[in-house]
Structure 1
Amino acid sequence: MPTERFLRQTSQMTTGIRKNLNRHSRGSNMSNATRLFALVLVFLMGKASGITTNNGYCIGNKCFTVSLEPSDFQRAQSQCRTAGGHSMTVRSSVSHDILFILLGNFTGRFWVGLHLLSGCPDADAGLKGFQWVTKDNESDFTNWLPGFDSSCSSDHCVSVSKEDDFKWIQSPCDELSAGFLCEYSFTEPCKSLTVAPSESVSYTTPFGNFGEDVLSLPPGSIATQMPAETTYVCFSKQWLQAPWSCEIKEGGCEHKCAVDPNKIPSCYCPEGQTVNPANKVTCEVQATDDPCVALRCQHVCYKNGDSYACTCDHGFQLAADGRSCVDFNDCADERQCPGENFRCVNTVGGFQCVCKVGYKMSGGLCVDYNECASAPCEHMCTNTPGSYTCSCYDGYRVNQKLPNKCELYCGMQECAAVCDPNNKYQCNCPVGYIADVREDETFCVEIDECTFRYCDQNCENSFGSYVCSCSPGYTLVGEYKCIKNKVDGEQEGSGMTSSPDTPITPFVPYPGPTRRPSAVTTGGLVGIIVCTVFFIVLLVLVAHLLLGR
């Protein structure tokens, strides 16, 4: 379609839509004020929806967009839902006419929000058994392609194309289309700005579409008036001129936004440039006689009565020199991030609310994350609010150095060994115990390491280990050696001792007596006996042969 013809047809469509709007407009299904505020906030804070919008149109309380992203029906529906809307419904001749505006320059098939959930089409039912993605079949308009297929085929979704005059075409839901159409509802729209014949206005909506001929605009839309480059934002049916709140889209400023001591937002520009006094948002070359030049403000210079002073961007505070700006610790205010299990993280010029360790974001709340799902413990795991605890089976205890690991533990003079169920001769004992076989059963017997005299002086045995200590006048060094204390003025080797009591220090075995092999296993002992008997028999046979000769 030539561009001139398309523009002329679009103008005719717009005129027709204006006339039929009162007859076909329907109430918004997103009148909830909370959802509206969330939608506007997501756009104004710059959070992208993930959809690349190639064209759009807004009318009444609805906006419609087209995306040229090849998708199956399920992905198209998910993309629209993620952006805060749903796949487009074509319930009236008004919405049908909008298809010409959206798809007049595009070829290929595009998904709309009509599908058959299950079963077979019913030619006598409303919409022939199909249903809108809004889970209803209310419609004042149908536009099926001639030759409707009533068989139980897999063509359970609907697409439209310019080549087929935007008739409703049955298509397989897993088929890749050229793109898809989304529909968004809102309340408190703004009407287009009234401008002089020599001026023009371009609009950008929260859904990405933009243009000049727009009937209504949703909250959060940005309007730029040319040639003055004055910027406005739509909020609660009104256009607010920039600069507005610095927390929202930098107040509409071309460079940066700051708040003066009177809490009034204002724009500022990079060094060597100043704010245009007419539109208060764009930057231009700074005049040499500007009184702000001498102040050399790091961020903003503003008029303070009969003089000028410096102020800083939001999230910063003025330093002692009156011109520099330093980051303000927003997290010092305990009111920041008030939600349960949230914590405040200070950032340059602001702060961020994140979940505490052990929690994750879900539906705007910080909920406990079940760490046990990833099996971090060797034996047993117990989830706790924000954390988890590891525990061990009977006969084991938690390793002090590796809390997620378990080690054998007896805690008595002797206990049964842990043996391989498939090989009763392959048994293990805790550190500091030795294996003892008694009538085909293996026990672990505690070793008294103090009998090996590993300690220089005193030794105290414990189950599985031992502790060294020193007599008064000596200090334990290296966990087993006792060094004589040196008294002030004493010459080395004088024999003088001091008498402070030296606390007993827990000892890690040196040189590892509790880590020595427990004992020869039963299987090894049997092997030694068999080899010895064989060797003796062999010697007897050799001796017998020699005597026989």
Structure 2
Amino acid sequence: MGDLTGLFVFLLTLLAQAGGIEPSSGFCTGTQCFAAFRHASEFTAAQDRCADRGGHLMTVRSSASHDILSVLLGSVTGRYWVGLRLAAGCPDAAAELRGFQWVTEDRESDFSNWPPGVDDSCSSPRCVSVSPEDAFQWTPEPCEQHLSGFLCEYSFRDPCKGLAVAPGESVTYRTPMGFAGEDVLLLPPGSTAVRMPAETKYVCYTQRWLPAPWSCEIQAGGCEHGCTVTPRHEPSCFCPPGQTVNPKNNVTCEAAADGHDPCAALRCAHACYRDGDSHACLCDHGFKLAQDGRSCVDVNDCGDARQCPGENFKCVNSVGGFQCVCADGYAARSGLCADVNECASFPCEYKCDNTPGSYKCSCDKGYKEDPTSPDRCVLHCGKEECAAQCDPNNPFQCFCPEGYVAAGETPVVCIDMDECFSSYCDQGCTNTFGSYVCSCSPGYTLVEGFRCVQSEEDSGGSGEAATSAAPRPAPTRRPSGVSAGGLGGIIVCTVFFVLLVLFLAHRVLNGRGKMESGGARKAAEDEAHGLRRVTRDP
């Protein structure tokens, strides 16, 4: 089991790099493999495709590596990129490699194959190709030119020797780079071998060939139909209904003996395997057997910390499996999870500091982070009185933090408001700098930050008062910024309104007095002239 775990950890990253276009030919020698790709590409794209599989464009620094070109391109035509380029400056005929360097960033070479009369001017092309049509001479090409293909080089450790072959047998090998062959002396880890006619399979791991089935995560364990894990945590191949696993190689499927399928009566939801002299149900990887012995339920693969061992990786569980992805704040680069500089997208209103996997916003003096939006800043005083923030182009347009009011003219200051004076709280209230705290008497519960509701279980007068610094009720909120000119205007309007009311009251009272005095004079004059009201008897 230890071998399988190590194999999984090693090959998961290796196989994740594979994919894309397949090589047209390949060759391995010592601890290096070379591959030719017939795919039209410019120089940079070719280099990226080599890097996707853990390699780089081929270097030709010896006559031995020059001979490998014939193996890779002996039967094809066209021009292919190799890893030689002029990074900067102009070609220098007197310098080693004429000033060019390999993509491995060195200029060492025991071999060169420049064509005669090569251009040494500054306008000379800066990348190099080879072709069998001119004896693989190093021909400068414009780097943006799309050539017929490119050559890749891969290095590795702990290779496996080729398997011994008995008379009547043959072995076919396939490397992680995507090319296959039979006459191979050394193969890189992750290579697979198929021995015919038995159809037994093997995978190379640290100089050893492990027989199939191996870990189900790696090429389905080498199984022909499907791979799962037994209750003893061992990989096992299974076959479709009506077929059983070949006991000679444990990977291929064959018709059930005498047409009798021993698994048919079990009605297994996923798969059936041989368990000693009998058969039993088992589930695909990522599932476990239910209590009925035949159904399967999903398991949390991410419960095992070894599933995604790479630094800054995290495991994401899915139905029947899992994925290894980069943790938040990291992005995949060349098979690793590298930190993302979030500050490059300017997420903060003021200052941004990048941190591993995240970032932190900070504010200038006189401001603090907005509790509702940490990437923004709001005015902050933190004491009873502080200077207002005024528009430099308009000194009368000043702003104060929430819970403060502007006062004075020059300079304008912000004075803490006593919100408790406005009876924002049902019961107790404590003023704080820029805010206030509501509290309730024992036996009451504070709700919505300002109301006190009698508790279901009265405390009987014991216990401490409940407090909360919740925001004040919306109808009584005050603006966070009041200009000095605006405050003066409010005062002038109030005085004018009071004077207007007094004036109108005086006019009304004065008019009523005149009417009463006029009526009295009229009665006196009537009496003086002997006038009497005459009534007629009925």
TM-score over 0.5 for the alignment?
yes
The answer as to 2:35 corresponding to 1:65 is: yes
Match of 1:253 in 2: 223
Provide closer, same or farther for how the CA distance between residues 166 and 425 of structure 1 changes in structure 2, counting only shifts above 3 A.
same
Bigger radius of gyration: 2
Which of these residues, 392, 401, 405, is aligned with residue 421 of structure 1?
Answer: 392
Helix, strand or coil at the partner of 1:405: strand
Residue identity matched to 1:154 = S
Residue identity matched to 1:324 = S
Match of 1:184 in 2: 154
CA offset at residue 357 of structure 1?
Answer: 4.8
Residue identity matched to 1:53 = P
In the TM superposition, 1:127-142 aligns within 5 A as 130-134=100-104, 135-139=106-110, 142=112
Query: Equivalents in 2 of 1:235, 1:477: separation in Å?
Result: 65
CA offset at residue 420 of structure 1?
Answer: 0.5
Query: Equivalents in 1 of 2:91, 2:100: separation in Å?
Result: 7
Which of these residues, 402, 419, 440, is aligned with residue 373 of structure 2?
Answer: 402
The answer as to 2:214 corresponding to 1:244 is: yes
Query: Normalising to structure 1: TM-score of the pair?
Result: 0.71
CA contact (8 A) 2:343 2:353 kept: yes
Q: What's the RMSD between the two structures over aligned residues?
A: 4.4
The answer as to 2:426 corresponding to 1:463 is: no
Helix, strand or coil at the partner of 2:36: strand
Match of 1:17 in 2: none
CA contact (8 A) 1:192 1:217 kept: no
Residue identity matched to 1:113 = G
Which of these residues, 4, 20, 25, is aligned with residue 55 of structure 1?
Answer: 25
Match of 2:178 in 1: 208
Query: Equivalents in 1 of 2:429, 2:39: separation in Å?
Result: 77
Residue identity matched to 2:238 = Y
Match of 2:142 in 1: 172
CA offset at residue 43 of structure 1?
Answer: 7.3
The answer as to 2:478 corresponding to 1:515 is: yes
Greater shift after overlay, 247-256 or 91-100?
A: 91-100
Residue identity matched to 1:268 = F
Match of 1:194 in 2: 165
Provide closer, same or farther for how the CA distance between residues 342 and 52 of structure 1 changes in structure 2, counting only shifts above 3 A.
closer
Query: Equivalents in 1 of 2:247, 2:15: separation in Å?
Result: 26
Residue identity matched to 2:42 = D
CA offset at residue 105 of structure 1?
Answer: 4.9
* Identical counterparts, % of pairs: 56
The answer as to 2:185 corresponding to 1:222 is: no
CA offset at residue 395 of structure 1?
Answer: 2.7
| Cα-to-partner distance string for 1:87-110 (whole Å, 9 max, x where unaligned) | 223455654454344335544321
CA offset at residue 300 of structure 1?
Answer: 4.4
CA contact (8 A) 1:160 1:169 kept: yes
CA contact (8 A) 1:160 1:167 kept: yes
Provide closer, same or farther for how the CA distance between residues 291 and 421 of structure 1 changes in structure 2, counting only shifts above 3 A.
same
CA contact (8 A) 1:51 1:83 kept: no
| Cα-to-partner distance string for 1:423-454 (whole Å, 9 max, x where unaligned) | 1011112223332233x332223333444445
Match of 1:442 in 2: 412
Match of 2:504 in 1: none
CA contact (8 A) 2:170 2:197 kept: yes
CA contact (8 A) 2:386 2:413 kept: yes
The answer as to 2:260 corresponding to 1:323 is: no
Match of 1:275 in 2: 245
CA offset at residue 470 of structure 1?
Answer: 5.4
Greater shift after overlay, 37-46 or 244-253?
A: 37-46
CA contact (8 A) 1:67 1:180 kept: yes
Match of 2:403 in 1: 432
CA contact (8 A) 1:114 1:131 kept: yes
CA contact (8 A) 2:17 2:335 kept: no
CA offset at residue 385 of structure 1?
Answer: 6.2
Helix, strand or coil at the partner of 1:274: strand
Helix, strand or coil at the partner of 2:11: helix
Provide closer, same or farther for how the CA distance between residues 138 and 189 of structure 1 changes in structure 2, counting only shifts above 3 A.
farther
Query: Equivalents in 2 of 1:409, 1:39: separation in Å?
Result: 52
Query: Equivalents in 2 of 1:379, 1:447: separation in Å?
Result: 28
Provide closer, same or farther for how the CA distance between residues 178 and 417 of structure 1 changes in structure 2, counting only shifts above 3 A.
same
Provide closer, same or farther for how the CA distance between residues 517 and 108 of structure 1 changes in structure 2, counting only shifts above 3 A.
closer
| Cα-to-partner distance string for 1:274-305 (whole Å, 9 max, x where unaligned) | 22344432234545423232223344434334
Helix, strand or coil at the partner of 1:250: helix
Helix, strand or coil at the partner of 1:246: coil
Query: Normalising to structure 2: TM-score of the pair?
Result: 0.72
Provide closer, same or farther for how the CA distance between residues 40 and 214 of structure 1 changes in structure 2, counting only shifts above 3 A.
farther
| Cα-to-partner distance string for 1:196-249 (whole Å, 9 max, x where unaligned) | 56x665432111122456565433222334565443334455554422343432
Residue identity matched to 2:473 = Y
CA contact (8 A) 2:44 2:143 kept: yes
Query: Equivalents in 2 of 1:405, 1:516: separation in Å?
Result: 18
Residue identity matched to 1:510 = P
Provide closer, same or farther for how the CA distance between residues 518 and 389 of structure 1 changes in structure 2, counting only shifts above 3 A.
closer
CA contact (8 A) 1:106 1:162 kept: yes
Query: Equivalents in 2 of 1:473, 1:152: separation in Å?
Result: 90
| Cα-to-partner distance string for 1:333-375 (whole Å, 9 max, x where unaligned) | 5666677766555455555566655566778887776655554
Match of 1:301 in 2: 272
Query: Equivalents in 2 of 1:487, 1:241: separation in Å?
Result: 71
| Cα-to-partner distance string for 1:368-423 (whole Å, 9 max, x where unaligned) | 76655554443345566665554433333333322333222334443322100111
CA offset at residue 48 of structure 1?
Answer: 1.6
CA offset at residue 54 of structure 1?
Answer: 2.7
Match of 1:33 in 2: none
Query: Equivalents in 2 of 1:71, 1:371: separation in Å?
Result: 33
Greater shift after overlay, 291-300 or 425-434?
A: 291-300
Residue identity matched to 1:147 = G
CA contact (8 A) 2:12 2:218 kept: no
Matched pairs, number:
482
Query: Equivalents in 1 of 2:242, 2:123: separation in Å?
Result: 69
| Cα-to-partner distance string for 1:51-93 (whole Å, 9 max, x where unaligned) | 5423323345443211233333344334324423332234556
Query: Equivalents in 1 of 2:351, 2:13: separation in Å?
Result: 46
Residue identity matched to 1:508 = P
CA offset at residue 254 of structure 1?
Answer: 1.9
Provide closer, same or farther for how the CA distance between residues 46 and 224 of structure 1 changes in structure 2, counting only shifts above 3 A.
farther
Query: Equivalents in 2 of 1:173, 1:431: separation in Å?
Result: 61
In the TM superposition, 1:94-113 aligns within 5 A as 95-113=65-83
Match of 1:31 in 2: none
Q: Which runs of 5+ in 1 are unaligned?
A: 1-36, 489-496, 530-549
In the TM superposition, 1:2-13 aligns within 5 A as none
Query: Equivalents in 1 of 2:435, 2:442: separation in Å?
Result: 23
Match of 1:535 in 2: none
Match of 1:536 in 2: none
Match of 1:289 in 2: 260
